[in-house]
Chain A
């Protein structure tokens, strides 16, 4: 299996521009997670989906952030408009969730975002 795939791997943009990050989870996984990692705050959960339905978006910082999962093999995280404080590494992770068993989350390689 190719693992979790994220694109782009690096993104440099100017303040005010729209940024779209993409994620393809591991085939067969039914949960998908978006995280943000910074030196100051560490790794923070932004939002997670189960069976393509958003379950908890309490970590999304503000209305400028939105996430979608139109099907089981694709998700996007969009920032509009972007700000310099959004600069971070954004990770996507996926897992197979069963009723009585907590499964491992597998992380993608991340997207390094720099907003100038």
Chain B
């Protein structure tokens, strides 16, 4: 079993839809959870960052962490065509090593 599992999609939604992206993980030592957004032919950029369990909201984006289920989610409300990108979850335990999911490719259609 890989440490981090992420459905690669692709996911295609109409503009304005609510998008749900998810990752599961197996390493209970992970405490820091991130979502990166990667546009085509660009490097990943940090979108959301949470520590331990709970929710974090930033504009149209909400990140949720459920450590008991080893499950994290990213919700995008009122999705826009500019949100079209690949979204990668990433996790970190006691070291600086980030472990990434393989990414979910999202397309928001106008």
Q: Point out residues on A near B: beta carbons under 8 Å.
A: 4, 31, 33, 41-45, 48, 50, 55-56, 91, 93, 95, 97, 102, 104-110
Q: Number of residues in B with C-beta < 8 Å to the partner?
A: 21
A105 interface neighbour in B46, B51, B99, B103, Cβ under 8 Å? B46
Q: Mark B28-52, 1 if CB is under 8 A from A, else 0.
A: 0000101000000111111001010
Residue contact A104 to B96, C-beta cutoff 8 Å: no
Most buried by B among A42, A48, A55: A42
> Which residues of B have CB within 8 Å of A102?
32, 51, 92, 96
* Interface CB pairs A-B, < 8 A, 22: A33-B98, A42-B101, A42-B103, A43-B44, A43-B88, A44-B100, A45-B98, A48-B96, A50-B96, A55-B96, A93-B43, A102-B32, A102-B51, A102-B92, A104-B34, A104-B49, A105-B46, A106-B45, A106-B46, A110-B41, A110-B42, A110-B43
Interface contact tally, CB-CB below 8 A: 50
State the majority secondary structure of interface residues on A. Answer: strand
Residue contact A95 to B49, C-beta cutoff 8 Å: no
Closest CB in chain B relative to A97 CB, distance in Å: 6
| Complex Cα–Cα for A97 and B88 (A) | 22
Residue contact A109 to B98, C-beta cutoff 8 Å: no
